[in-house]
Amino acid sequence: MNRNNFSEWLAEASRNIGAHSVACIRMDNPLLRQRIEENSTQVTDWLKLEMHGEMNYLERMLPEKTNPWKTFPFAKSVLVLTFSNRWGNPAATHPFPAPANDALLGYISAYARGADYHLTGQAMLYKLRAMLGENIHAEVTVDTAPVYERLFASVGGLGVVGDNDLLRVSDLGNTRIFIGCLFVDAELPEVIHQAQIPFACATCHACVKNCRTGAIRSGQPIDARKCISYLTIEKHETLTREESESIGDWLFGCDDCTMVCPPRIEDDMRIPVDLEWLLKAPAAEIRRTIKDHVTAYAGVTRLRKNAVVVLKNMETSPAQDLLQWARENTGSELIRRQIDLW
């Protein structure tokens, strides 16, 4: 590590580990403290409105997010890293079997192509920690700890937070990016960037216009209860008829707001999944398929529950036949209740 020219050293280190960009913020940065206080007030108000739905962990984690100086008491600096994990790359692979041409399909968000982004980001940050030298105490977080990642990235000048609450970065100009943080016990020189975003959110609103459920509203907090990603990933219970109809053919996540963020993605890079395979294959086979994949977070039962909803939205004879098979063969009361709900 070169402290005398730390900015150049950090940029080179970022390239070497395959990151998109890296910033370094001192934990005593007054702007960081101000932004965290402001954001915590907004999040508290949002939670009071119960817009977080079933994500009760957000309430439990709020005190730790509000006070990173207590959560990471050893930390004197934080390195904030952005990386794409091949999001938007047509060559990125996924573990799901190729469906037949006449298969009944549901779709998984394009960000799920490639390796689990948690693992990718952690590997990069562990490399960065090693490059800092020995005798450095550090903690790696990639959406795995109570941290305002997007806030840290925006304070570091790596991007701005769009109407869809995702980070937009300067040269990509879109939200197809992940964030990781490395909290370290060393007083490192600050490296703060200036985000230059083409097509400012205030003059665009493409994500707002393309959100089919109204979860995204310009200048307003996101109503997670209406968000397709929330409904397909986070909601454990059955989906109401209105919620079911809103998710369309999504099994896991949603690309509606990210694909239109400039520069718009024209190619459909969603992951197609054969619904018959998802419902009829042994659960152990599916668990092996999604092992170390982001869809493992939802698990087999929730993916199958979403498959039932997608089939009901199709309203075709083959879809009805598969639904009937699922009802007669499923061992899940949740799936059976979802089939019978409407």
Pick the closest to residue 14 from 165, 160, 135, 169 (CA basis).
169
What letter would DSSP give residue 254? Answer: -
Check residue 327 and give left, alpha or beta (phi > 0: left; psi -120 to 50: alpha). alpha
Q: How many helices (H) and strands (E) does the chain have?
A: 14, 9
Angstrom CA distances, 342 to 104, 205, 301, 328, stand at 20, 35, 19, 17
What is the Cβ-side half-sphere exposure of residue 90, based on CA atoms within 13 angstroms? 4
Whether residue 143 lies in the annotated active site = yes
Give the containing element (helix H, strand E) for 70: helix 68-71
Residues 28, 45, 102, 143: which is the catalytic one? 143
Q: How open is the CA angle 228-233-237, to the nearest 5 degrees?
A: 95
Q: Look up residue 261 and give its amino acid.
A: C
Check residue 205 and give left, alpha or beta (phi > 0: left; psi -120 to 50: alpha). left
Give the containing element (helix H, strand E) for 12: helix 6-17
- Cβ contact 170:195 at 8 Å: yes
What is the C-alpha separation between 205 and 58, in angstroms, rounded? 27
* Chain mean position to CA 25: 23
The catalytic site residues sit at 143
